[in-house]
Amino acid sequence: MTDAPLEPGPREDRRIGSTRRSLLGVLAGLPLAISGPARRSLAASAQTSNGQTLPGQITSAANAGSPFPTDILATIAGPEGGATDRWARSVLSALAQALPPGARVRGVPTGAADGVTGANQFEARTAPDGSSLLVVPGAAALAWLVGDPRAQFDVGHWVPVMAGVCSGVVALRGGPAALAPGRKVRIATASLVGPELAALLGVDLLGAQPVPVAGLMDEASVRAALAKGSIDAALLRGPKLADEVAALSDLGMQPVFGLGILNEGGKAIRDPRFPDLPEFSELLMASRPQAAYGALFDGWQAIAAAARLEFAVVLPQLTPAAMVAKWRRIGSEAAAVLANPASDQVIRVHGGAPGAVEVSATVAESGTLLEIRRWLGKRLDWHPS
C-alpha cells in the first residue's frame, strides 16, 4: 500500500553512476558534527504552516565562518495539512533549535501532495545563498524518474541536508514460489508510477509478469481485494507496517522481499526491522543473477530509494560548499533532536552525510532513465502525457 544479502560483487560496486560518485566524493570532504544532545523539546517549538516563523534556539557550530542567513524560507512541496506539511512542522522545528542565534525559518506549503509543483518552483526561483530550503516527498523524485512532463526539475540538482526514510515490504500470496517464470502476479496499486512501481519492476526482474490492479488506495481496499481473490501481491508501507504484515499473513500473503536500507557506503542491506526478510537485490542475485546488472536494475534501485523517501530537506544547486557544510551540521543536530532510540521508529531521520546518501540514491543517469521509461511503455503501457 502506498502509505520496509548477499554481498554485491565487484561489478555491482562499479554500477554506481557518476552523479552519485561525485556527490559522495563531495560528502567525504565536508566536516560534520553534532554539538550534543538537544535540550529543548519539540513541544515547545512553534508551528511552520501559514508562513509562521521559527526562531533559532541553540548556538551551533555552523555559526563559524561566513555569515549565516537570518531569514530562511522553506518551500514545503505539498498542501497545508498534507503528509509533507505535517513532517515539515516537526523537521523545521528541530532545525530551528540548531540554527545560529537570530536566524529564523518559515515554511510555506506549495502545490499538490506529489510535490511536483513545489519542486518546480524551488528550482526555478531559488537563489543558492543558503537562505532557501525545500522539504519534498519521494513522490516528486518518482515523477522525475518516470519522465512525468510536469516535473521541470532535476533531482540531481538537489543538495541534501536531511532525509526521512520508511521501510517497505512486498508481500505475495504463495510466497517466493509464486514468482515462477512468466507467471502473472496481480499487484495492488494506487498509481502505476507511485511507490508500488518498486513492486511492479521488482517482480518483473525476478522473472514473473506483473499485472497492476489500479485504484487500491489503502489497507481496507487491499484487504477487500484479497478477500475477493483479485490481487496476489502488495507493497506495504506506512506507520502501521508491522501490523499490516501480520494481518495480511493471516490472509495468505507472505513477505518475499524488502526495500532494504542503505549503509554508509550507499549499498542496500536488509532492513533491521525485518532481519529475516531478504533485501530485493539479495533475492535477485539468488534467483536470477543475470538480471542484477544493467540499467533496469539501476532503475529499480533509484525507484526503491524514492519509495523509501518519506521526505527530503534540500538546498538548491550551486549552494557554496561552506554553506552546505553548515546546513549539514544543522541537519545532523536536527536529526538528533527527532531521534528516539527507545522507540521502534517507523521513520528513520538522517542528517548530514547519511541523509545525503539516502537522497542521492534517487538519482539516475540518462541511460537508466531511458530504460525505466522504455520498460513502463513496454510492460505497463504507460507513457508520459
CATH of the domain at 249: 3.40.190.10
- 331-374 pLDDT, tens per residue? 999 999 998 654 555 789 999 999 999 999 999 999 999 999 99
- 133 and 44 share one domain: yes
- 274 and 172 share one domain: yes
- The answer to whether the CB of 293 falls within 8 A of the CB of 12 is yes
- 224-248 pLDDT, tens per residue? 888 888 999 999 987 778 888 888 8
- 225 and 133 share one domain: no
Global confidence as pTM: 0.83
Residue 374 lies in a domain: no
Q: How many domains does the chain have?
A: 2
32 φ/ψ sector (left φ>0, alpha ψ -120 to 50, else beta): beta
Strands (E), the chain: 53-55, 71-77, 104-110, 132-136, 159-166, 169-173, 184-188, 209-213, 233-236, 253-258, 261-262, 268-269, 309-315, 347-351
Three cell numbers, residue 111? 502545490
Which residues span the domain enclosing 28? Answer: 12-164+307-367
Statement: residue 18 has pLDDT above 80 = no
pLDDT at position 370: 97
Higher local confidence (pLDDT), 182 or 197: 197
- 132 and 217 share one domain: no
Look over the chain and give the mean of its residue pLDDT values, rounded to a whole number.
Answer: 83
Q: Which of 361, 355, 348 is nearest to 167 (CA)?
A: 348
pLDDT at position 231: 94
Single out the residue in 304, 327, 358 at which a domain terminates. Answer: 304
15: which DSSP letter?
A: T
Residue 5 lies in a domain: no
Q: Which residues, listed in sequence order, are joined to residue 234 by a DSSP beta bridge?
A: 171
272-280 average pLDDT score: 94
Statement: residue 19 has pLDDT above 90 = no
- The answer to whether the CB of 136 falls within 8 A of the CB of 84 is yes
- 249 and 230 share one domain: yes
- 299 and 312 share one domain: no
- 150 and 178 share one domain: no
Q: Which residues, listed in sequence order, are joined to residue 171 by a DSSP beta bridge?
A: 234, 255
- 86 and 225 share one domain: no
Q: Which residues, listed in sequence order, are joined to residue 115 by a DSSP beta bridge?
A: none
Q: Which residues, listed in sequence order, are joined to residue 19 by a DSSP beta bridge?
A: none
- 153 and 68 share one domain: yes
- 38 and 124 share one domain: yes
| C-alpha to C-alpha distance for 100 and 113, rounded to whole angstroms | 31
- 37-58 pLDDT, tens per residue? 333 333 333 333 344 333 333 3
Residue 179 lies in a domain: yes
Three cell numbers, residue 68? 549565516
| C-alpha to C-alpha distance for 185 and 173, rounded to whole angstroms | 9
The dihedrals phi and psi of 309, each to the nearest 5 degrees, come to -80, 105
> b or e along 21-37 (b: 16 or more beta carbons within 10 Å of the residue's beta carbon)?
eebbeebeebebebbee
Residue with cell 502525457: 385
- 115 and 158 share one domain: yes
Statement: residue 6 has pLDDT above 60 = no
CATH of the domain at 327: 3.40.190.150
pLDDT at position 341: 56
